[in-house]
Amino acid sequence: MGSILDTVKNKQTNNITPTTTGGSIFRTVSGQISNQINEPQNKYLSGGFISDVADILGTGQYAITGGIESQLEKRGILRPSTTSGLKGGVKERKSNIGLLKRIGEETGKGGLLTGQYQPTQSVWGNFVRELPVTALGLAGDIMIDPLVVASKLGAVAKVTKTIGSAVKTGATAVASNMPAVQKIGDVLERLAITRGGQSEAFKLADKQRIINESLALEKTEKLVSDLIEAPSVIQQRMAQVLKGGILHEMIFVVWLNQFVRNLMLLVKQLQR
């Protein structure tokens, strides 16, 4: 039983000794581990959810990159490896950036386009030198991806549309034969779809109503903003006009009166 810590220590020094005897469950396990240590690492679908989505979308590109790598190995441009080929490309999430760098490393050709440079202490210097190989590799990743071709030709949209239509037709058929399903469908539509269940005429009219209400309110704001910001005295006079208490023409007299009064106050203050 005490061998567990020894096993851990051994592993820390990367010095694993397969031991399948001795009766300890821990020794048995360490044997199993050591047998797997030389297998290529499977990175595909090994990250979080987003990483898995990226892997699924990038599968075609990974495979083709692996395939290109394998061809380069077969033609002797690159040294043989166990991780190339369609399957290896997917497993290792192969990228053309990595492939270009490998070409550079193994052939010494390509200069900055294959990442051939002597790293320096300058972070910016290294960064700038990495740009050509990264840009070229990225362009390669995008261009050789069969998903790009399929999407641009509309094939992906066609497939998903066909599947969607089939599901919809099936669901409608089931719902029309089973009232309970229809009811559940109606409730779900009302709850989970924006404006679900509303008639088309209603949707249009209601959207227009919302816009019209906002525009009308803005118009109101423009009309009344001067009045609501006016001094109390002016507002009181305006209220009288709006209520029909005094004629609109009299406003000038009121304003003149106010003006003269203010002028007098100003003169008094100046005199002091």
What residues between 51 and 70 interact with other proteins by CB under 8 A? 51, 53-54, 57-58, 61
Beta-carbon contacts of residue 46 (< 8 Å; ≥ 6 apart): none
Scan residues 101-120 and list those touching other proteins (CB under 8 A). Answer: 101, 115, 119
Length of the chain counted residue by residue = 272
Show the tokens assigned to 232: 């109390």
CB of 138 to other proteins, least distance (A): 4
Instruction: Give which of 37, 38, 97 is closest to 62, Cα–Cα.
Output: 97
Q: How far is the CB of 76 from other proteins (least distance, A)?
A: 26
Which one, of 203, 198, 204, 177, lies nearest residue 186 by Cα?
198
Among residues 12 and 271, whose Cβ is nearest to other proteins? Answer: 12
Q: Which of 71, 74, 79, 157 binds other proteins (CB under 8 A)?
A: 157
Least spacing, CB of residue 152 vs other proteins, in Å: 7
In this chain, which of 17, 107, 109, 127 binds other proteins, going by CB under 8 A? 127
Q: Of 143, 149, 141, 44, whose CA–CA distance to 96 is shortest?
A: 141
Q: What residues have CB less than 8 Å from 185, skipping those under 6 apart?
A: 171, 175
* Separation CA 10–CA 124 (nearest Å): 40
The reply on whether position 192 binds other proteins by CB under 8 A is yes
Q: For residue 270, which amino acid is it?
A: L
Work out how close the CB of 24 gets to other proteins at its nearest, in angstroms, rounded to a whole number: 9
Q: How far is the CB of 253 from other proteins (least distance, A)?
A: 14
Rank residues 191 and 270 by Cβ distance to other proteins and give the closer one: 191
d(CA 221, CA 228): 10
Restricting to residues 65-94, name those near other proteins by CB under 8 A.
none
User: 10-29: which residues touch other proteins (CB under 8 A)?
Assistant: 11-14, 16, 25-26, 28-29
Q: Is 151 in the site for other proteins (CB under 8 A)?
A: yes
Q: Residue type at 225?
A: S
* HEC readout, 188-255: HHHHHCCCCCCCHHHHHHHHHHHHHHHHHHHHHHHHHHHHHHCCHHHHHHHHHHHCCCCCCCHHHHHH
**Closest approach of other proteins to the CB of residue 205, in Å:** 5
∠ at Cα 43 (38, 44), nearest 5°? Answer: 130
Q: Which of 116, 137, 141, 138 has the alpha carbon at shortest distance from 126?
A: 116
Footprint of other proteins on residues 200-259 (CB under 8 A)?
201-202, 205-221, 223-224, 226-232, 234-244, 248, 251
**Any contact of residue 182 with other proteins (CB under 8 A)?**
no
Considering only residues 20, 35, 37, 168, which one is a binding residue for other proteins as defined by CB under 8 A? 37
For residue 73, which phi and psi values (nearest 5 degrees)? -70, -45
**Interatomic CA distance for residues 53 and 95, integer angstroms:** 16
Site size with other proteins, rule: CB under 8 A: 108
**Which position among 21, 39, 48, 80 is part of the footprint of other proteins (CB under 8 A)?**
48
Report the residue number, 178 or 193, with the smaller CB distance to other proteins.
193
Determine the interface stretch with other proteins among 76-84, 105-113, 125-133, 262-270 (rule: CB under 8 A).
Answer: 125-133
